[in-house]
């Protein structure tokens, strides 16, 4: 299994900046992507250094949100049914994980990979094709690989929303508000955060706060947009260099898209590079409100994270269950 020291140390060391596919196609290592670097040593160190107070914080947003969902997704349904009348109930859940807190798996988003013969070619992580993903006998890069051991390690919170509010900067989670990398670096310096290889990077933008303050009519309007707008991290080569040089195992935010959407700088689309290119899981719409308050109260911005994605071998995405 690949170790952190096996990775090219710097972004500039990458032979192909858009793709790092070191594992055998169809293998467990390929299915894990950058989660490979969460080795027992990395996880043990995170537990030993981060579990201090014993306080626990749930990062799962209400599973019914966003409701109604955007992009024409099916709304959440929950049914309670008698299994044996007057004796016991069962319930049934019908939901799209992309409606609320979720990990984007490697089957979620592809990226351009043109060849001289096919200039429109697009592939998923590792070179996986859409035909492979739709093949019911194929488990290649399915989220089930993540579920076998779960995701665990040191989380690091960059609370951009609080930083912005202190400076009189208004942040609407459903606007095309771009979070500058310079702000991320300034916040890290103010909070004495030193990133470590294998960290899980969290960015608080304030989508959940925005959504909870919206009237129902405004939520309906959002869901009906053909091209909604979302606040998120800037797209730039500087951001890609920051992501690679720190060797994050995964990234997550309370934002709908993690990165600003629609893309302001499509050449550096983070879904293309992180998911399809490097195998870095992207978490979206995590509930970071209590986490931010707890971090402020304790005066520390790192913590232990444990996540159990759904054990679905061919899964595209999953609630984080953390």
From first to last of its 322 residues, the chain has per-residue pLDDT tens of 344 557 999 999 999 999 999 999 999 999 999 999 999 999 999 999 999 999 999 999 999 888 777 787 888 899 999 999 999 999 999 888 888 999 999 999 999 999 999 999 999 999 999 999 999 999 999 999 999 999 999 999 999 999 999 999 999 999 999 999 999 999 999 999 999 999 999 999 999 999 999 998 988 888 888 889 999 999 999 999 999 999 999 999 999 999 999 999 999 999 999 999 999 999 999 999 999 999 999 999 999 999 999 999 999 999 999 9
DSSP string, 71-85: TTPPPPEEEEEEEET
Place of tokens 């749930």: 58
CB 4 within 8 A of CB 37: yes
Residue 224: DSSP 8-state: T
**Residue 74: predicted pLDDT:** 83
**Residue 65: predicted pLDDT:** 84
CB 276 within 8 A of CB 123: yes
**Residue 109: predicted pLDDT:** 96
The candidate with the shortest Cα–Cα distance to 34, out of 247, 201, 302, is: 247
Side-chain-facing half-sphere of 124: CA atoms under 13 Å: 23
- What is the C-alpha to C-alpha distance for residues 213 and 317, in angstroms, rounded to an integer? 27
Quote the pTM value: 0.94
DSSP string, 228-276: --B-EE--SHHHHHHHHHTT-SEEEESSSSSB-BS-SSGGG-HIIIIII
Between the CA of residue 296 and those of 162, 290, 292, 301, what are the distances in Å?
10, 10, 6, 8
**Residue 3: predicted pLDDT:** 46
Residues 6+ positions from 228 with CB-CB distance below 8 Å: 70, 71, 174, 222, 256, 261
- What is the C-alpha to C-alpha distance for residues 119 and 104, in angstroms, rounded to an integer? 26
- What is the C-alpha to C-alpha distance for residues 211 and 209, in angstroms, rounded to an integer? 6
Express each pLDDT in 89-132 by its tens digit: 999 998 888 889 999 999 999 999 999 999 999 999 999 999 99
Class of domain 4-68+96-318: alpha beta
CB 21 within 8 A of CB 127: yes
| Angle in degrees, CA 102, 311, 52, rounded to 5 | 65
CB 264 within 8 A of CB 178: yes
DSSP string, 134-184: H-TT--TT-THHHHTT-EEEEEEEEEHHHHHHHTT----TTS--EE-HHHH
Count of positions (residues) in the chain:
322
The alpha-carbon radius of gyration of the chain (Å, integer) is 20
- What is the C-alpha to C-alpha distance for residues 76 and 64, in angstroms, rounded to an integer? 6
| Angle in degrees, CA 305, 307, 313, rounded to 5 | 150
């Amino acid at each position: 299994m690949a170790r952190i020291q096996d990775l090219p140390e710097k972004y500039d060391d990458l032979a192909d900046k858009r793709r790092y596919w070191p594992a055998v196609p169809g293998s467990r290592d390929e299915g894990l992507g950058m989660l490979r670097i969460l080795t027992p040593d990395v996880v043990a160190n995170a537990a030993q250094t981060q579990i201090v107070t014993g306080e626990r914080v749930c990062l799962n947003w209400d599973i019914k949100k966003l409701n109604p969902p955007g992009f024409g997704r099916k709304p959440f349904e929950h049914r309670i049914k008698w299994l044996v009348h007057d004796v016991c109930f069962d319930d049934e859940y019908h939901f799209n994980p992309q409606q609320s807190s979720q990990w984007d798996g490697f089957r979620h988003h592809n990226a351009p990979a043109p060849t001289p013969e096919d200039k429109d070619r697009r592939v998923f992580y590792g070179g996986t094709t859409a035909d492979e993903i739709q093949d019911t006998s194929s488990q290649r890069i399915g989220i089930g690989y993540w579920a076998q051991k779960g995701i665990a390690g040191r989380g690091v919170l960059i609370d951009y929303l609080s930083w912005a509010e202190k400076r009189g900067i208004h942040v609407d989670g459903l606007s095309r508000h771009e979070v500058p990398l310079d702000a991320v670096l300034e916040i890290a310096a103010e909070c004495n955060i030193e990133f470590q290889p294998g960290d899980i990077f969290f960015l608080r933008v304030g989508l959940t706060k925005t959504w909870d303050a919206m009237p129902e009519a405004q939520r309906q309007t959002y869901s009906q947009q053909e091209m909604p707008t979302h606040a998120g991290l800037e797209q730039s080569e500087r951001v890609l260099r920051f992501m690679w040089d720190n060797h994050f195992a995964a990234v997550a935010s309370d934002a709908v898209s993690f990165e600003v959407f629609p893309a302001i700088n499509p050449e550096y689309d983070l879904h293309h590079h992180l998911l399809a290119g490097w195998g870095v899981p992207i978490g979206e719409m995590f509930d970071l409100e209590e986490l931010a308050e707890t971090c402020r109260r304790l005066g520390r911005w790192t913590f232990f994270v444990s996540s159990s994605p759904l054990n679905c071998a061919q899964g595209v995405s999953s609630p984080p269950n953390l």
